[in-house]
Structure 1
């Protein structure tokens, strides 16, 4: 079997692409944002710049794997909430699209047009199926609020003949990422059984020690293991705990980082005696996302690029479980 080519929708600065390249795959990312494209160019990642809605499977006839992480701003807790409010409507669109309806005019009526972008991977999958060139595998990721949409996708993909693992919310620290971040993952396979990756590291719990938990799993990775600073430190989150903006979350360098967002520079970093220290730099934020330390971040809004990306280490685990390495795939 020839090595598969991956087309990555909403590819951002290259989180999944870095993982795919590490596994030996050829991957082309579609990305609209100029800054992210500047980073991708510097990282020598194949890129088609433009709106995913202006492309389709026919543009990438050699692609056998469809991947994507649609914009999350309307679904995330820190965002507008328009996507969460429209969740039932979005699931209705999934079912209508499965019946062959063109829902584009209705999508334009949503409060925020970005909400409808979560349906683009389904449009691609359905079109490829109609063209009798279905994707061998589909890998999608999004914030936890999108899990019901992935569950609706699953029903449609099963009807199309796919094996689809039950979508789940994965915790990044369970895959060696020095950060607690949750992502809703969908994996489908046209041939063979679809499966999600099994955790390699323990789940982080507040006040739990690294050596506590499942002895068959490795300890979660703390910030101090990947970021080189001369002293131990504490991070004071920009976000409140339990809805109280005054109750800032705190973590020491001996713990994983909070979820890395585009506002990571707003998190204070202090010595254990309370002395103010330099806040996280862009390269440090990238390392917490498991990008290489020398990743060539380019353009503007670098923190936002980093915060929007899937951690490459999580992407690698998902791709490895979904389709294996390129050599393994070619030999199957």
Structure 2
């Protein structure tokens, strides 16, 4: 029987709102089971992937047999997911002993129990340098012990048509001897190399209406037909009713700062004498010179460039590069979702939308990775399967 007369079966651990599963499905894969401890994320996942089974709970309590039973198959092609990694994220305090850093051990355990042909694990770039590569070595050794060859790469979401400079590390692995481990080549970047131009904030958001002081209107209309390939993608299968395009009015302090911030500028563009006292301290070091960091606090997005990383704090302009390029306000949920390349039909359920969107895997990056994995699986099916000795 041709192994891939069907779509490759996927189990998504730490699934969050479903960005990874959505991209893998766009690549022709079949997410059958998803696991997460966040009830809001699971509600969103169910709303957008009704055909998949979901487990709401602690991954440490999940077994491989349970996953295979819910998937309806013992022949799983891929286990994918991004174990929580805030303990060594560069956006927060980097704490080596943060228990979230070791959730990958349950990922490894479930790979060992399910024995998929391949795995995919996504993580933050900071884990490569923390402790001189301690975590990277741990991950590679853990998979080697259960009989999986591994490879890793650093990728940027913008290289795959996502309008966002989001850098991540990917680990892939296989127990099948002749499956080649490879990563997708960039499709966007330097046009001199024959690549498409990076998608910009304007490319992503240009058809969305400005709010003009009305920050809470629940449903709005697009201001134009789709103007480019990305906007066509975002609006495919969706009507003219734009949802979740709501935002926050700036605080008085944020407004006083925003008055001085032009597109592509941040806190350092504000005259020091106009800064609140706590920011004056942030502007200088011991010898009185201006600091070189804090460059993206109160940063107004440059419409002619991809956005910076969308985090869980995109509604707080004081925390990073989340000041709207054309209006004095934070990004809306829909704008943040667009910058993560979620289609506009995608429904976010429950609450904590900022966490659901900011923690997601960008959809189009996931699609590019998925296409590469599908290619590896299909190439391997043309040869007799040979597995590593560890069973």
Q: Is it true that 1:64 corresponds to 2:67 in the alignment?
A: no
Judging by fraction of residues, say which structure has more strand: 1
| Alignment match of 2:28 (pick from 18, 21, 24) | 24
Question: Counterpart of 2:315 in 1: which secondary structure?
Answer: helix
Change (3 A) 1:34 1:161: closer
- Mapped to 2, the partners of 1:8 and 1:253 lie a distance apart of 34
Residue 144 of structure 1 and its aligned partner are, at CA, apart by 0.7
Partner residue in 1 for 2:124:
143
What are the Cα deviations for residues 31-59 of structure 1, in whole angstroms up to 9, with x where unaligned?
11011111112213422111111112111
Partner residue in 2 for 1:260:
310
Residue 260 of structure 1 and its aligned partner are, at CA, apart by 0.5
Q: Is it true that 1:173 corresponds to 2:158 in the alignment?
A: yes
Residue 135 of structure 1 and its aligned partner are, at CA, apart by 1.4
Q: Contact 2:29–2:374 (CA<8 Å) still a contact in 1?
A: no
Residue 270 of structure 1 and its aligned partner are, at CA, apart by 4.7
C-alpha RMSD of matched pairs (Å): 2.9
Partner residue in 2 for 1:320:
371
Residue 164 of structure 1 and its aligned partner are, at CA, apart by 2.4
Residue 248 of structure 1 and its aligned partner are, at CA, apart by 5.0
Partner residue in 2 for 1:80:
93
Partner residue in 1 for 2:106:
120
Residue 245 of structure 1 and its aligned partner are, at CA, apart by 6.7
| Alignment match of 2:332 (pick from 281, 288, 296) | 281
What are the Cα deviations for residues 204-229 of structure 1, in whole angstroms up to 9, with x where unaligned?
xxxxxxxx554321111101112125
Q: Contact 1:323–1:329 (CA<8 Å) still a contact in 2?
A: no
- Mapped to 2, the partners of 1:122 and 1:20 lie a distance apart of 20
- Mapped to 2, the partners of 1:74 and 1:320 lie a distance apart of 30
State TM-score, norm by structure 1: 0.76
Unpaired runs of 5+ in structure 1?
87-111, 129-133, 203-211
| Alignment match of 1:234 (pick from 255, 258, 263) | 263
- Mapped to 2, the partners of 1:237 and 1:295 lie a distance apart of 31
Change (3 A) 1:151 1:196: farther
- Mapped to 2, the partners of 1:53 and 1:163 lie a distance apart of 24
Question: Counterpart of 1:324 in 2: which secondary structure?
Answer: helix
Unpaired runs of 5+ in structure 2?
211-261, 269-281, 283-290, 317-321, 384-391
- Mapped to 2, the partners of 1:14 and 1:41 lie a distance apart of 9
- Mapped to 1, the partners of 2:41 and 2:149 lie a distance apart of 33
- Mapped to 1, the partners of 2:358 and 2:56 lie a distance apart of 20
| Alignment match of 1:14 (pick from 12, 18, 26) | 18
Partner residue in 2 for 1:193:
180
Residue 139 of structure 1 and its aligned partner are, at CA, apart by 0.4
How many residues are paired up? 285
Change (3 A) 1:40 1:316: same
Q: Which shifted more, 290-299 or 59-68?
A: 59-68
Pairs within 5 Å for 1:33-52: 33-45=38-50, 46=52, 47-52=54-59
**Of the two, which has the highest radius of gyration?**
2
| Alignment match of 2:140 (pick from 151, 154, 158) | 154
Partner residue in 1 for 2:230:
none
Residue 155 of structure 1 and its aligned partner are, at CA, apart by 4.0
Change (3 A) 1:174 1:295: same
- Mapped to 1, the partners of 2:36 and 2:90 lie a distance apart of 24
